Structure 1
Amino acid sequence: MRLKSNIWVAAYLRRCQVNGIFGAVRRRGSEEAGAVFVKLALLDGNALLFTPAPQTAYDNSRPVERVFTPLSAEPVPEQAVEERLTKEIRFDPDVWIVEIEDKQGRHLLDLTSK
């Protein structure tokens, strides 16, 4: 069984805090199953956006963990990320937006566990 979005976001932000990475919820979505988007601001005017991975990226039909895919391989101007997030909100008003800030580019999304 997969964690509810609100619990996953709270745990993710706590893990970031423990590792000295500032993070905050910018938009609360559906507490049960809202998609979570993570914006990594690099504090130089550029950012990365991590989106939920497509269902084909999961081994099971009901994944236990959340998997994220970077929207681009390299950082892009923050304005481009903001434009994409605006489109996502129009498409699905239940999305969560979490923003973290780290000059080193740490996001801890590769540390998901089952």
Structure 2
Amino acid sequence: MRVTTDLWVSALIRRVFSDGGFAAVIKRGATEAGAIFILCRDRMGEIALYGPAPQASYDMAFPDERFFNRLAVKPDEEAVAARLEKEKRFDSDIWVVEIEPGRLPLQELVRLILT
């Protein structure tokens, strides 16, 4: 059984804070099953945007896990805002979480498929 998006995001935020990082929900979406987008900002100010991986990326052995693809690396603020606005027009129930990782890299905080 897959946990709700609300619970998953709450657990992610707790994990980030317990690791010495910072996280905030920028946009709250559907409680049960909203798509999650992660905006990662490092301590040098560089940003990367991650979004849900395509269904073909999911491992049948772990169907309840969430996987993410890198959508944009080192974009400017306007490019990220435009991409998120486009995603909101497509699906108004998305979640946007901004993270500044602590000691652990983002890949260890969430499962990422980097392509």
TM-score, structure 2 as length reference: 0.83
Q: Which amino acid aligns with 1:109?
A: V
Whether the 8 Å CA contact 2:19–2:103 is kept in 1: the answer is: no
User: Displacement, 1:63?
Assistant: 1.8
Residue 76 of structure 1: SS of its match in structure 2?
A: coil
Name the counterpart of 2:86. 87
The corresponding residue for 2:110 is 109
Letter of the 1:99 counterpart: E
Provide the rounded CA distance (Å) in 1 between the counterparts of 2:98 and 2:37. Answer: 8
Q: Normalised by the size of structure 1, how large is the TM-score?
A: 0.84
Report what 1:37 is aligned to: 37
Please provide the CA RMSD for this pair.
Answer: 2.4
Contact 1:37 1:49 in 2 (8 A): yes
Q: Counterpart of 1:92 in structure 2: which amino acid?
A: D
Where 1:87 maps in the other structure, the secondary structure is helix
Check conservation: 1:52, 1:67, Cα contact below 8 A. Answer: yes
**Which blocks of at least 5 consecutive residues in structure 2 are unaligned?**
none
Q: Which residue of 1 is the match for residue 7 of structure 2?
A: 7
Preserved CA contact (<8 Å) 1:45 1:77:
no
User: Residue 110 of structure 2 aligns to which amino acid in structure 1?
Assistant: L
Instruction: Work out the CA distance in 1 between the residues paired with 2:84 and 2:91.
Output: 10
> In structure 1, how many angstroms separate the alpha carbons of the residues matched to 2:102 and 2:78?
17
Deviation track 1:48-93 (CA, whole Å, cap 9, x = no partner) reads 0110000000123982110011113x42223211111111111100
For the 8 Å contact 2:53–2:68, the answer to whether it is kept is yes
- Counterpart of 1:66 in structure 2 is 66
Where does the alignment leave 5 or more consecutive residues of structure 1 unmatched? none
Q: What is the letter of the counterpart of residue 5 of structure 1?
A: T
Q: Once the 2 structures are TM-superposed, how far is the Cα of residue 44 of structure 1 from its aligned partner?
A: 4.5
Q: Percent identity?
A: 45
